[in-house]
Amino acid sequence: MEAALRLAHLYPKLMNLYGDRGNIICLRRRCQERGISLVVDELELGDSLDPAAYDLIFIGGAQDREQRRVAADLLETKAEALHQAVAEGVVLLAVCGGYQLLGRYYRPAAGEELAGVGIFDAWTVHPGPTARRFIGNVVVRWQGGTLVGFENHGGRTYLGPNARPLARVIAGFGNNGRDGGEGVVQGENAFGTYLHGSLLPKNPRFADHLIVQALRRRYGEVELAPLDDALEERAHAEAVRLATRKAIFLKR
Amino acid sequence: MSAVSGLRTAAAVTMAKAAAVLSRRLGFGGGTALPGLVADAVAPGLAARLAARLGHGCVLITGTNGKTTTARLVRNIAQAGGFRPVHNHSGSNLMRGITACLIEATDARGQLRQPERRLGIFEVDEATLPEAAAALSPRVVAFTNLFRDQLDRYGEVDSVAAIWRRALAALPPATTVVLNADDPGVASLADACQGSVLFYAVSDIACAVDQIEHAADARWCPACGREYTYSAVFYGHVGHWSCPGCGRARPAAAIEATRVEQRPDAPLDLSLSTPSGQFELSLPLMGLYNAYNALAAVSVGVALAVPAGAMQKGVASFTAAFGRQERMIVRGREVHTILAKNPAGLNQVLRAISAEQGPKNLLFLLNDDIADGRDVSWIWDVDFEMLAGQATLLMASGRRAADMALRLKYADIDAHPAIEADTQAALEMALALTPEGERLYVIPTYTAMLKVRKLLARWGQRPPFWEEA
C-alpha cells in the first residue's frame, strides 16, 4: 500500500516529560514497516495548527510551569483548529498533562484554575498538596485485552456524560482512583490517557488501532499487515505481571 | 556539652558501631545506613554534634549526576592539601548514611582522631540537602547539575530547584557556594545565595555538539519564559546559554576549563584557569560530564585554598568509585562498567562509548526498584540511535529487560537485542558472547550496579566497596 500520513506533535519541547517521544518513535516505525510514510511536524508555542493538514495529533505531558504556558497557548493559537480537526475525524492522542489540558478545566493544588480546550467532556481537580499522588504501574482492560503503562499524576479526572472511559482499571489508579475508569474516548477518534511508559511501544494493538483509524479516514477500508511483535508482547506481558503482583501485595 | 548529652552521644556511637558490625556479619551489606538509623533513634541530632567536632568543617556535594565522582575527587584533593577527610564514600547519601560515616570516624568514646585536621566531605541526596545543610553547617556547598531523574521519587525538576533554593537561603553568608555556570538550572541558584559564589565552566567550544539533546530540561528562562539560545551546547541543556528575552546569561566563571581533550581510550586532559593559577589535569575517566565533575571538585579545592600543585597530585591519584566507571579484566575480556541512571547521564555514556575504538559489545541492565526510579519510561528519552552500526553484541537484562530490549529494537541498532533478566546469567552470557580480547561495556542502573559489582568483585578479585580507602 502506498500511503502517507501526517502527524502534528504538539509542543515536543515543552510537553515531553515521560518519554513521550517513544510514542512518536513507535508510530513512525510501525508505519514504516508497512510502507506507510509518516511525516511528523513539531508545533511549538505560537505555531498555528492547520486542521486539514493532519491525520494524527499527539500531545504529551509536562511539569506544572510548562503546562501553564501551554494551556494559554493552546487556547490562543490551537483550540479552534483542534475542535475542527477532531470533528473531522483526525485521530488525537493526549497523554497525562496533555489529557488534562484538553479537558474542560484543570484546577491545580495551588494557583488559578486553567481553562481547558474542551475536546474531552472531562475535568481535572488536584485535591491539594497533601493528597496522595497516583504513582505506579498500571494495567487496564481495553477491547478484550489489556493496556499497560506507568501513571504519575496528582490531579483526579472525572468524565461528563458525553465521554466514556478508554479502559477499566485492573491494577493502578486510573482517572481518579474511585470509579475504575482510565482515560477517555470522545467520539471515536479522540483519546486521552494517564498511561505513559512510553504508552505505544508496549501496546502495539493500541498503536495499530490509531494508525488504522487514521488510514481509514483517508483511504477507506484498510487492513494492516501484521508485524513481528514478539518483543512488544513480551514487554507487555512483563508489565502486566509486575503491575498485578504489586496490586495483590497492596491488598494484603 | 553536658555530661548527660556526652554520655548519650557515646552510647549512641557504641550502639551504632555494634549495628554496623552486625550488619556486615549477617551479610546485609556494608553497614552504611543501619548505624545511622540506630544512632538517630538513640540520640537525635547526633550528626550535628559529631560534625561540629570536625576541625575544618565540612563540604556538601549534590546534584543529579556526578555526586559520587565529584565527592571522591574532592576527597583526593583535600587529602593532598593536608586535610584528613571524613567521607561517605559508599555513596550512602541520605542523612542516615552521613551519620553512619561520622560514627565510623569516631572512637567508642565519641572522639575523633586528629579532630583539628578533619574535613567532612559528604555527597548529599538532592532532596536531603535542606536537612543536611541545617544539621552540618557546611563551609562549602557544591552543585553538579540538574536533570530529570526519577520523577516518581523526586518530583519534577522545578521542585528539586525549589528545595535547593530553600536550603541555600537558610545558609549563613560565610558558606561558599560552588555552581555550574553552564547549567542554567544550577547557575540561577546564585540568586538564592547569601554568601560568595564560585562558578565553574567549560570555555573550550571544541567540545560542543551539533544540537540540543532530547534529555535537555532547563530550556526556558524562569524569569521571563523565553527559550534560551545557545552559542554552544555541550550536553543536555549544558552549554553557553543566554536568554534573548531578559538578557540573563551564563555568568563569568572563576574556574574554567580552557581546553578539554577527549581521545579514545585515553584519560581526559584538561587545561584549567583558576584563581589559584593555571594548570593541567589528567583524569582517568571518559566523557565530558567527568570534566565538569573535575571542575566542581577543583572549585571546592579553590574554596578550601588548596594549592594548585596539591590539586594536581590529588586528581592524579584518583580512581573511580567501584562500579560507576570501572575497567577490569574478567576471563580475558576487558569489562568496562559504567553506571547510568537517567537520560542525560546515559546519553553522555553512549556518546563516550561511541567515541572509543573497537567493536562495541553492550549489556544494558534496567531495574525499577525505588533507588532506580519505578518508572522506566525515561529510556525513551535516551538517544540510543547514536549506536547505529556500532554494536556487535546487544543485550538487555534486569527486572525491565524486555522494556530495554524493546527500546533498543526501536533504535534501529542493527544487532538484535538478546534478553536475559537474571543479572548473573546475563553477565555470564555477555562474557561468553564477547570474543576474547574484546571489550564488554556493562551499563547498569543503580541497583543493578550493586549486583554487577558483587559478581565482578568475585570474578575479578576486587574488594567489596565498604573496604575501600
Which tens digits make up the pLDDT trace of A133-181?
899 999 999 999 999 999 999 999 999 999 999 999 999 999 999 999 9
CATH code of the domain in which B237 resides: 3.40.1190.10
Of the candidates A152, A15, A244, the one whose C-alpha atom is nearest the C-alpha of residue B381 is A15
Q: Are residues A238 and B152, on separate chains, in Cβ contact within 8 Å? A: no
A26 catalytic residue (yes or no): no
Per-residue pLDDT of B384-424, as tens digits, reads 999 998 899 999 999 999 999 999 999 988 778 999 999 99
CATH code of the domain in which B353 resides: 3.90.190.20
For residue B339, tell me if it sits in a domain.
yes
Residues from chain B that touch A14, judged by Cβ atoms under 8 A, are 220
Tell me which residues of chain B, numbers 339 to 368, contact chain A at a CB-CB cutoff of 8 Å: 368
Query: Does residue B346 sit in the same domain as residue B401?
Result: yes
Instruction: Round the average pLDDT of chain B to a whole number and report it.
Output: 87
Residue B146 clears pLDDT 90, i.e. is over it: yes
Range of the domain at B85: 58-89+115-316
Fold of the A3-251 domain: Rossmann fold (3.40.50)
SS3 B365: strand
Q: Are residues B403 and A238, on separate chains, in Cβ contact within 8 Å? A: yes
Q: Which of B292, B316, B340 is the last residue before a domain boundary?
A: B316
d(CA B465, CA B97): 14
SS3 A4: strand
Any chain A CB within 8 A of the CB of B403?
yes
**For chain B, what is the domain count?**
2
Query: Does residue B197 sit in the same domain as residue B159?
Result: yes
Confidence of residue B45 (pLDDT cuts 50, 70, 90): confident
What's residue B1's pLDDT? Answer: 46
Query: Does residue B179 sit in the same domain as residue B303?
Result: yes
What's residue A108's pLDDT? Answer: 86
Query: Does residue B416 sit in the same domain as residue B297?
Result: no
DSSP code at position A141: E
Any chain A CB within 8 A of the CB of B237?
no
Q: Are residues B158 and A64, on separate chains, in Cβ contact within 8 Å? A: yes
Query: Does residue B331 sit in the same domain as residue B306?
Result: no
What's residue B358's pLDDT? Answer: 83
- What is the DSSP annotation of A90-140? -EEEEETHHHHHTSSEEE-SSSPPEE---SSSEEEE---TTSPPEEEEEEE
Chain A to chain B, count of Cβ pairs less than 8 Å apart? Answer: 88
A236 catalytic residue (yes or no): no
Per-residue pLDDT of B376-388, as tens digits, reads 999 999 999 999 9
Lowest mean pLDDT among A10-24, B281-295, B313-327: B313-327
For residue B22, tell me if it sits in a domain.
no
Give the mean pLDDT of B450-455.
Answer: 90
Residues from chain A that touch B381, judged by Cβ atoms under 8 A, are 16, 19, 21
Q: Are residues B377 and A22, on separate chains, in Cβ contact within 8 Å? A: yes
Query: Does residue B248 sit in the same domain as residue B385?
Result: no
What's residue B466's pLDDT? Answer: 37
For residue B35, tell me if it sits in a domain.
no
Q: The complex's ipTM?
A: 0.94
Confidence of residue A204 (pLDDT cuts 50, 70, 90): very high
Under a CB-based contact definition with an 8 Å cutoff, are residues B59 and B75 in contact? no
For residue B47, tell me if it sits in a domain.
no
Query: Does residue B197 sit in the same domain as residue B180?
Result: yes
Query: Does residue B184 sit in the same domain as residue B232?
Result: yes
Any chain B CB within 8 A of the CB of A65?
yes
For residue B31, tell me if it sits in a domain.
no
Query: Does residue B238 sit in the same domain as residue B152?
Result: yes
Q: Are residues B405 and A235, on separate chains, in Cβ contact within 8 Å? A: yes
B391-397 and B360-365: which strand pairing? parallel
What's residue B412's pLDDT? Answer: 87
Query: Does residue B234 sit in the same domain as residue B135?
Result: yes
For residue B435, tell me if it sits in a domain.
yes
Residues from chain B that touch A152, judged by Cβ atoms under 8 A, are 151-152, 375
Buried b (16+ CB within 10 A) or exposed e, B130-142: bbbbebbbbbbbb
Q: Which residue has the higher pLDDT, B418 or B10?
A: B418
Ordered strands of the A145-153 beta sheet? A145-153, A134-142, A167-171, A181-182
pTM listed for this prediction: 0.81
For residue B51, tell me if it sits in a domain.
no
Q: Which of B284, B316, B348 is the last residue before a domain boundary?
A: B316
Q: Which residue of A has its CA nearest to B370?
A: A136
Query: Does residue B274 sit in the same domain as residue B369?
Result: no
